[in-house]
Amino acid sequence: MTGTQNLKLNTEHLKLRIKLFMNNNGEQYDSKKYLDMDLLRFTTAGSVDDGKSTLIGRLLYDSKSIFEDQLEAIEKTSRSSGEEEVNLALLTDGLKAEREQKITIDVAYRYFATPKRKFIIADTPGHIQYTRNMVTGASTAELAIVLIDATKGVLTQSKRHAFISSLLQIPHLVVAVNKMDLVDYSEDRFNEIVQDFRTFAKKLEIDNITYIPISALVGDNVVDKNGKTSWYKGPTLLHHLENVKVDASHNVVDFRFPVQYVIRPNQNFRGFSGRIESGRIRPGDEITVLPSKLSSKVKEIVTRDGNLDEAFPGDSVVLTIEDEIDISRGDMIVRKNNVPKVTSNFEAYLCWMNEEEMQPGKQYMLMHTTSTTAVYVDDVIYRMNVDTLRREDAETLKLNEIGRVKLTTAKPLFMDAYQVNQRTGSFIVIDAASNVTVGAGMIRATSTESRESETADVKRETGSTHKLESKTKHSPNVVWEPWNIPKEDREKRNGHKAQVLWFTGISGAGKSTIAKALEKKLWGSGKQTILLDGDQVRHGLNGDLGFSPEDRTENIRRVGEMARLFFEHGNIVLCTFVSPYQRDRDAVRKLFPEARFVEIHVTCNPETAHQRDPKGLYEKAKKGEIKDLTGFDGEYQAPEHAELVINTDEMDVDEAVETIINKFAAD
């Protein structure tokens, strides 16, 4: 159907119709406006039959990104190859072989800009044998356009594109239902396709799907609306592209700085260059260097344009640090209290990209952030049928196949789950003999899974081997399965965020009293809550534990894990535990995203607590019946960085509850 593939346009026609965005609004191009422009990288997937080339041609041409000489050239080529109309696919199919075979072989990158935004299109071929190109194009995209032919409906191929977009965690998906002109702009047909796609998309991990009825050929709802789809109230495609939130895939919480290259112009300067892959950093922030686990502080954030007060995801900078620590390429600078997983055993989704099939047990090279190491693929757990989304048994992966695999690296990697952090969760596999990139992987384990690195931290800080270590080191190969219902969905239904409020303080300080009143208030306003209390837990789950420092630590560890389960369930979790040791509280803190764990120090004059003595413990201690009572003869390490301190000598219960709600539990 060449008529639908090609725009019915000749050069003269185009010359007349080419619209200058700057003239659309009747204003001159303001060369200073570009300072406000941002950037959206998106990928388009679909075959020529879906009208993909026409759509791209339409976007390029309506945004004045096709030049006359380009148009003349493709017009000439179209004519000489016997085509009646200008074949806009020739704009993207630049290689001789592509032009000869009239197929797209490789990802092509195209560019256009409007006064609002610059766009980079990774245009990927839609043929089945080119899954690897789709994965490649999707790896840098923040939005994917899946084209559906309105006359054909949701085909296997559309599903495959959507699945790959989901696998690569592209935050925005646009389902462009094309060729609406061929179905008489039928609203029913559009709704039918949307319904079909929705049913399928439930299996995917994509939150943001926008459905737009378009005709790329005629131009409906691509740049302008033309009234033929008056039932459609949404944005045009370009309007959506111009306004969709960018940087949605950036992780702004977990600071990760893989060191690229050490900059050392003279003996007085030693800087570590790299790009902030996630999180943010300021001078003075405490950092830890992996793998050495040595800690220091950021001294300066250096750039040629002056030192920075703060740096953000994506910034290429140079960090200098306070202490002389040996740091080289492949090391990672992170925050002291927020470290990635450090391991050489993990599971991942692997997309195989080479004609030579993957050989389990063969040594490959693996590149992850700025680090390269040897790797074995130990096992293929299953192969994903990208058309049916079914899991299939497989011994290996062939070209364009995607599977879940187990890997072992020679050197430990500093990783996060791809879901949480694309930059520290992605890797490529390289054939050591041919040096060719043969695979692309997305790590499935999360940073909360194996806590080897964190136990080491605890060990170093306390200077003693701690029970926490032996309890968590058992199962390094247990991989974190994502929750069946993601927390975000539960939060949506609950109408509020999950949160952990950790009340620490000596017995009698008022933790339980405040927490109980707070929970009632939250519950009364429709929130999902749970209150975990020391006594309650010690009667059941932790009945085997006493009050030695080791047992106290294990008590808190178990409570932390339990709090995490309730947290993942979408609850506001209130925990009232004496929890006397800073390291134990910190270990719990690490289980949660930053800002979701709030440490509240409930304090009062010890005399007040002794008088209150709600459980009669101080009385017993005074008589010598119990020993090591926290707040009496046992040690209590007051929090150094509590988010909130409540002094119950000065504040009554209602005030305390109000303070906490206003500060942390408002949304």
Partner 1 sequence: MQINSHLKQLEDEGIYIMREVAAQFERPVLLFSGGKDSIIMVHLALKAFYPAKIPFPLMHVDTGHNFPETIEFRDKLVRETGVELIVGSVQKSIDDGKVKEETGPDASRNALQTVTLLDTLKEHQVDAALGGGRRDEEKARAKERFFSHRDGFGQWDPKNQRPELWNLYNGRKNPGEHFRVFPISNWTEMDVWQYIAQEEIDIPSLYFAHERKVFNRRGVWLADTEYVNRMDEESLEKKTVRFRTIGDATCTGAVLSTASKMEEIIQEVAAARQTERGNRHDDKRSETAMEDRKRQGYF
Q: Give the footprint of partner 1 on residues 83-122 (CB under 8 A).
A: 91-97, 99, 105-111, 113, 117-118, 120
Phi-psi region of 345 (alpha: psi -120 to 50; beta: other; left: phi over 0): beta
Through-space distance between the first and last CA atoms of the chain, rounded to whole angstroms = 54
Q: Which is nearer to partner 1, 353 or 609 (CB)?
A: 353
Name which position in 367, 517, 530, 626 contacts partner 1 (CB under 8 A): 367
CB of 144 to partner 1, least distance (A): 15
Report the DSSP pairing between strands 597-603 and 644-647.
Answer: parallel
The structure tokens listed for 493 are 């239904």
CB of 132 to partner 1, least distance (A): 6
CB of 174 to partner 1, least distance (A): 20
C-alpha count within 13 angstroms, C-beta hemisphere, residue 112: 22
Name which position in 128, 184, 243, 252 contacts partner 1 (CB under 8 A): 252
Question: Which residues ranging from 304 to 323 are in contact with partner 1 (CB under 8 A)?
Answer: 304-305, 312, 314-316, 318
Name which position in 37, 128, 595, 645 contacts partner 1 (CB under 8 A): 37
ω into residue 593 within 30 of 0, thus cis?
no
Q: Which stretch binds partner 1 (CB under 8 A): 184-192, 222-230, 271-279, 619-627?
A: 271-279
The C-alpha angle with vertex 272 and arms to 266 and 275, in degrees rounded to 5, equals 140
Written as one letter, the residue type at 65 is: S
CB of 236 to partner 1, least distance (A): 22
Q: CA-CA-CA-CA torsion for 426, 432, 436, 438, nearest 10 degrees?
A: -50
427 binds partner 1 (CB under 8 A): yes
494 binds partner 1 (CB under 8 A): no
73 binds partner 1 (CB under 8 A): yes
Give me the long-range contacts of 471-477 (CB less than 8 A, separation at least 24): 471/554, 471/557, 472/557, 475/450, 476/343, 476/345, 476/450, 476/452, 477/345, 477/406
CB of 557 to partner 1, least distance (A): 33
Q: Which stretch binds partner 1 (CB under 8 A): 62-70, 402-410, 563-571, 646-654?
A: 62-70
356 binds partner 1 (CB under 8 A): no
475 binds partner 1 (CB under 8 A): no
Separation CA 485–CA 106 (nearest Å):
37
Beta strands in 307-389 (DSSP E): 316-321, 332-335, 341-352, 363-368, 371-384
- For residue 447, which of 466, 475, 421, 412 has the smallest C-alpha distance? 421
CB of 375 to partner 1, least distance (A): 14
Report the DSSP pairing between strands 371-384 and 402-415.
Answer: antiparallel
382 binds partner 1 (CB under 8 A): no
CB of 318 to partner 1, least distance (A): 7
346 binds partner 1 (CB under 8 A): no
CB of 113 to partner 1, least distance (A): 7
Q: Which stretch binds partner 1 (CB under 8 A): 131-139, 379-387, 560-568, 585-593?
A: 131-139
264 binds partner 1 (CB under 8 A): yes
At residue 470, φ and ψ (nearest 5 deg) are -65, -30
26 binds partner 1 (CB under 8 A): no
Separation CA 357–CA 25 (nearest Å):
55
CB of 363 to partner 1, least distance (A): 14
